[in-house]
Amino acid sequence: MADHKAETIDINGCATEVRRGGSGPTLLFLHGAGGISAWAPYLDALAERYDVIAPSHPGFGGSDDPEWLDNISDMAFFYLDFMEELGLEDVHLVGNSLGGWIASEIAVRSTDRIKTLTLVSAAGVNVVGVPMGDIFLWSNEEAAQKMFFNQEIAEQRIAAAAEMTDEQKDVQLKNYFTTGKLSWNPRFHNPDLIKWLHRVKVPTMLLWGENDNIFPPVYGEAYRDAIPGSELRIIPECGHLPHQEKLEDFLAGVDANISKN
Amino acid sequence: MRFSFFHLMPYGAVDLDAIEHTAWINFSNSNYDPKEGHKLYNRYLDELEYADELGFDGICVNEHHQTAYGIMPQPSVLAGALSRRTENAKICVLGRALPLTENPLSIAEEYAMIDNVTGGRLIAGFVRGIGCEYHSYMVNPSSSLAKFHEAHELIMQAWTQPGPTSFEGKYYRFQYVNMWPRPYQQPHPPVWIPSQGSSETKDWASHPDRKYTMLMTFSPIANVVRNMNAYSDKCDEYGYKCQPDQLGWALPLYVAETDEKAIEEVRPHIENFFNKFVLAPTEYRMPPGYSSINSYKMIMENKMKFREQYLSIEMLMENGMFICGSPSTVSEKLEEYQSQMGYGNLVIMGQFATLDHEHTKKSMQMFAEEVMPKLRHIGEPNAAAAE
């Protein structure tokens, strides 16, 4: 396992939990609605070739839930501050789901510190006529089943959830509450975002599970059509979390995009 | 004691077998037949009007969306209809869900109009709406409480301050708050807060600036007692004595000639209510942010576990979520509970789920004629605290 540490960094008064490990070019990983609870295998794999920085968003995990956090725009500006505060340059920005949405919102505001962008099953856009899966009506069990193509993984997740400590359950609730706050309506997207995605001029890769039950692959196509020169890779037999379900494909996609630059 | 008759207006014609997962949000409205709906609306309005004739002090409607549980998404429409067809009863809208509307002034207007038409018979209920409504209306549950308070402030400003004034909130902004008509009752109609008894609600409703009636709804008796006592304690803390009128209890109730007959007649209907019409999975009822994380955990622990099982009439009577029996049994229970809690408002839901018109009327009449007179004298204002 790569050397890594977890620390709390103050960003303009917001205590932010940051996991960091590995060495190489800087890679900022923005997590999805489920948060980051540990130095996960996909972070470890990335850390073999990158300096991986994986914060918990404000309102998630061990980070503060600040008063000012109302919407995804607040989150995007927070990360512009975050990169400035940590002095990050030439960042390879990777975001999954909710984190992918945040990453796009950062990129339309400024790519000054961003070298490449990789969106993995990203929220943020809407495709009229193709409904998203409504995660807010799913039970935990149903959510696990719909999150993965491989139902063995879903069953492992369900079994693991039954073993969760009270502290872990509290974090899970916190993540769930903040996800609701950021994405209830408009549901998991910002209608204005698509108008400005043409401003993203860094190499962009879109990685999508073929069997994503939340944002079907056509959502990836919408991103591809909106971001000039972007590439969409559909990962077969894969649900909403390619970095967890199809690690090799995920890593190959990230590397391919980063090597373009 | 003051007595009100509350109607949920359930879609009682529903095919019960069609309700498998839930009766809310995405339970298809292909299960709704407008011809049956027409009959039900008129029947239910007849029942509310009959309550006025029988001498109930209040008749009550409320708001729910996209559900067979109650077909009153816009309760003020029916409150308007009742305004002109009733003589004496207060018309209680319990209540309008403030955060669900983009413009709370529309609620202030509806209420003021009813108050003017009836010459001051409106009781204004304010609620947040239950969790399911936030899925149906796509209103962000995380701002529900903050919007509720801001909307309340705006409505009170519209009702009580000579206009035009302006309002600058986080969620609502108006350059000209200048409502026509002004409410008939001055400074404003009485306010009731239907509640499941969160401590935030108790602290807020009992505050000396408000002294709003807290109406405990559909809760096990132990909760009702605990919450009413906590409300009274809070009044003591604020330095005044809680008046019976500040406390209300709403529950389904059924009266028949004997205890046995009552149970026999009402069993399927009350069980349909609690096991079919109420049916909604946790995620439907508890969208994220609707309550604080601590309240969320408490509700999951207490209420949701209870509702996971089939609720029989015996269980419901046992934990006091439902009262039924002969007039004397019902009177005794209500009197005993009143002595524990001190409530001055009793709100009975005398029709529920699939209960038919004849039995509804029979029970209403027996309650009005044989229960109400026995309990009238209790729960009156304390003379000592009246000044």
CB A146 within 8 A of CB A238: no
Residue-level pLDDT at B386: 42
Residue type, A45: A
Residue-level pLDDT at A166: 93
Residues with Cβ within 8 Å of residue A39, at least 6 apart in sequence:
A1, A4, A6, A19, A21
Q: In the structure, what pLDDT confidence band is assigned to residue B302 with cuts at 50, 70 and 90? A: confident
| Least confident range of A85-94, A184-193, B179-188, B377-386 | B377-386
Question: Is A136 close to B287, i.e. CB distance below 8 A?
Answer: yes
Give the Cα separation of A48 and A60 in Å (integer): 26
| Least confident range of A103-112, B295-304, B344-353 | B295-304
Please state the rounded mean pLDDT for residues B301-321.
86
- End-to-end CA, chain B: 20
Residue-level pLDDT at B326: 98
* pLDDT at residue A34 tops 70: yes
Each residue of A97-106: pLDDT tens digit? 999 999 999 9
Query: Which chain B residues have a beta carbon less than 8 Å from that of A66?
Result: none
**Cα within 13 Å of Cα(A170), Cβ side:** 7
Partners of B3 in beta bridges = B346
Share of chain A above pLDDT 90, in %: 98
SS3 state at A147 = helix
* pLDDT at residue B385 tops 50: no
Q: Chain A interface, mutation test: which of B139, B293, B301, most A Cβ atoms within 10 Å?
A: B293
Q: Does B297 touch chain A (CB under 8 A)?
A: yes
Give the Cα separation of A169 and B44 in Å (integer): 45
CB B140 within 8 A of CB A183: no
Query: Considering the domain A4-260 in this protein, what is its CATH number?
Result: 3.40.50.1820
Each residue of A169-199: pLDDT tens digit? 999 999 999 999 999 999 999 999 999 999 9
Nearest residue to A4 (alpha-carbon basis) of A42, A63, A53: A53
CA separation (Å) from A239 to A138, A209, A210, A250?
Answer: 16, 5, 7, 12
Name the token pair of B235.
């009044």
Domain of B85, in residue numbers = 2-385
* pLDDT at residue B304 tops 80: no
C-alpha distance from B189 to closest chain A C-alpha (Å): 34
Nearest by CB to residue A139, choosing from B135, B140, B283, is B283
Nearest residue to A93 (alpha-carbon basis) of A58, A122, A73, A61: A122
Residue-level pLDDT at B308: 77
Nearest by CB to residue B142, choosing from A138, A181, A187, is A181
Query: Which chain A residues have a beta carbon less than 8 Å from that of B25?
Result: 137
Each residue of B115-133: pLDDT tens digit? 999 999 999 999 999 999 9
Query: What's the CATH number where B151 sits?
Result: 3.20.20.30
SS3 state at A108 = helix
Please state the rounded mean pLDDT for residues B68-83.
97
**More reliable by pLDDT, B72 or A1:** B72
Question: Is A136 close to B25, i.e. CB distance below 8 A?
Answer: no
Please state the rounded mean pLDDT for residues A55-82.
98
Each residue of B7-66: pLDDT tens digit? 999 999 999 999 999 999 999 999 999 999 999 999 999 999 999 999 999 999 999 999
Name the token pair of B380.
């009156």
Each residue of A199-249: pLDDT tens digit? 999 999 999 999 999 999 999 999 999 999 999 999 999 999 999 999 999
Nearest residue to B257 (alpha-carbon basis) of B318, B358, B350, B329: B329
Residues with Cβ within 8 Å of residue B226, at least 6 apart in sequence:
B197
Please state the rounded mean pLDDT for residues B334-339.
95
Q: What is the residue extent of each domain of chain A? A: 4-260
Give the Cα separation of B114 and A232 in Å (integer): 58
Residue-level pLDDT at B303: 67
Domain count, chain B: 1
A19, containing H or E segment: strand A14-21
Helix axes B75-83, B105-117, angle to 10 degrees: 10
* pLDDT at residue B384 tops 80: no
In the predicted model, what is the mean pLDDT of chain B? Answer: 95
Question: Is B288 close to A180, i.e. CB distance below 8 A?
Answer: yes
ipTM: 0.95
